[in-house]
Amino acid sequence: MDTPRSSASHSGKGAHRQVESEAYMSAKANGRPVLCEFSQCPGKPANLIDRVRNVIGLITGALITDNANVTVTQLGDGRVVCLSQSTKSTILIDPDSLGTMGRFRYTDGLSSMLQSRHPIMNESEFLTLLLDLVRSGYLVVRMEAGSSERKVIGRVDCRGGPMPGWMHSFAVTEKYVVVPEMPLQYSASNMLKSEPALFYAFDWLPESGIYMHVASVEVPPFMTFHFINAYEEKADEDGQATTVIVDCCEYYADPTMIQTLLLHKLRSGTNKDELPDSRVGRFRIPLDGTPSGELQSVLDPEEHGRGIDMCNINPSCLGKKYRYIYA
């Protein structure tokens, strides 16, 4: 979990503060989480009225968390926000005091309740993906620096089932937005029943098909939290892109990585060295109409101890061919 931190250079000390979200304040008041978190349901319905109340709360977003516990980032105009999976978890903070300033209010009227936990930003724009749980797809949206209005610049319909796949992050090249469709799909039935599925809010359904949407090709099964970078591979003759290369921290299509992050397992001390193996996975996405892409290990896993994640690159290489990652 990312908690906002500031550095007081004159004293050599750092500081951190908890974002005072609705989820945090209500959990503090009740002694337990009361909203739907990533791995937390508000409680099994005791009767039909409770079930109806929970369904209404999920549809309206009232029961969905605003716990901004994944990303802390600065927008192009200097505003600093914390955010997570729900769109209402985008919260403004004061970068000097780390005080919570309130919810970031989008002015566009887009109704999606879920978003990528890792948007892509530069000095001029903010790019992210919004999930469409009704029509099973993803909206690609752009917000200019200084604005609070997201504009839809594209849409991808899911090919692998009636519900979208989980999408923690995504990638961009200089010309393309790369939209992943993993087989870890939202479970509509469990969400409506306020009961956890096998993987919290998700089912693992590799038989439904796995896709990478640039030219919308089918790819081998994969499991990832974080994409590293993407770029276009160009032909020598005319300089046109023939392939999109997409790199990520990939867990050999093993969704149990999610379960190993349970707090009681991490705190028990028995989970040492039990994290699933990971690698730098590289997708090769053809742009010539070929229906399938490839997934390979781009590095020998022994070079990084068969465990790698939370990668960074030189920001100037975003969307371009690059040589180094820092993890």
Phi-psi label, residue 58: left if phi above 0, alpha if psi -120 to 50, beta otherwise:
alpha
Rounded to whole angstroms, the Cα distance separating 119 from 168 reads 9
> Reduced to 3 DSSP states, what percent helix, strand and coil does the chain have, rounded to the nearest 5?
15, 35, 50
Residue with tokens 């093993």: 254
Known binding-site positions for Fe cation: 118, 168, 226
Identify the helix (H) or strand (E) that includes residue 156. Answer: strand 151-157
CA-to-CA dists, residue 30 to 33, 167, 260, angstroms: 7, 31, 27
> What residues are designated binding site?
118, 168, 226
DSSP string, 118-143: S-EE-SSEEEEEEEETTTTEEEEEEE
Contact 262, 205 (CB under 8 A): no
